[in-house]
Amino acid sequence: MSPIRLLIVDDHPVVRDGLRGMLAGDPDLEVVGEAADGGEALALVGSLRPDVILMDLRMPGMGGAAAIRQLVEQGAEARVLVLTTYDSDSDVVPALEAGATGYLLKDAPCDQLVRAIRAAARDEAILAPSVATRLVSHLRAPVQDALSDRELEVLKLISQGETNRGAAARLFISEATVKTHLLHIYAKLDVNDRAAAVAVGYERGLLVPRRT
């Protein structure tokens, strides 16, 4: 397996250096470039072809959420893992709605960051606990606890091991729509990742184990 190619986007050089040094010891990860803001990241993505972009949010010039939105619009295959200091609703919600795959805070331990990077490379969402709590609060307001028919379809496909891309192809919808459905599922089931959503789905009888 080739190493996961990483692009680090942060306006503070000391943060970029620290992340590069922290991740250098893992043979499964390769930092292929750095950028000081979202615009610079967009300019580098085509040539560097990162698998995962570690994206700060509040940066001079183009911020993280705007860069994520443009990456999605351009059809970039890189997954974006937000890595920031901020976990307010005004930061979390726009970043995830723009298309971020995961959201961690900069005080996350190294092993959690590495797990999140690997999850993002598989197109799986990892959310910091405080971020998951804020997201649940935000999403519970406009939705009811019962999963919709489409959300159940997404949950069933995820339980069968489908990626977001695979689920989108099976359901003839976009990956962004699948991610939105997953966020609603997380909120309704009060979980913060797909594995927990599947587990709760079985516990509540929303999913039926396959017969062998």
| Range of weakest confidence among 19-28, 124-133, 145-154, 160-169 | 124-133
CATH number at 101 reads: 3.40.50.2300
Domain count, the chain: 2
Whether 208 is covered by a domain: the verdict is no
- Residue-wise over 28-54: b if at least 16 C-beta within 10 A, else e? ebebbbbbbbbbbbbebbeebebbbbb
Cα 23 to Cα 179: distance, rounded to the nearest angstrom? 27
State the average pLDDT over residues 36-48.
Answer: 94
Question: Six-digit token pair at 45?
Answer: 């993505």
**Same domain assignment for residues 23 and 43:** yes
**Same domain assignment for residues 94 and 186:** no
Whether 211 is covered by a domain: the verdict is no
Last residue of a domain, one of 109, 137, 165: 137
Whether 212 is covered by a domain: the verdict is no
pLDDT at 170 over 90: yes
**Same domain assignment for residues 132 and 28:** yes
**Same domain assignment for residues 114 and 164:** no
What is the CB neighbour count within 10 angstroms for residue 7? 23
Last residue of a domain, one of 95, 119, 137: 137
Tell me: the pLDDT tens digits for 63-107? 999 999 999 888 888 999 999 998 887 888 888 888 898 899 999
**Same domain assignment for residues 113 and 21:** yes
What's residue 19's pLDDT? 94
Global pTM reads 0.68
Q: Range of 148's domain?
A: 143-203
Last residue of a domain, one of 137, 170, 194: 137
**Same domain assignment for residues 119 and 43:** yes
Q: At what angle do helices 164-171 and 149-159 cross, to 10 degrees?
A: 130
**Same domain assignment for residues 184 and 89:** no
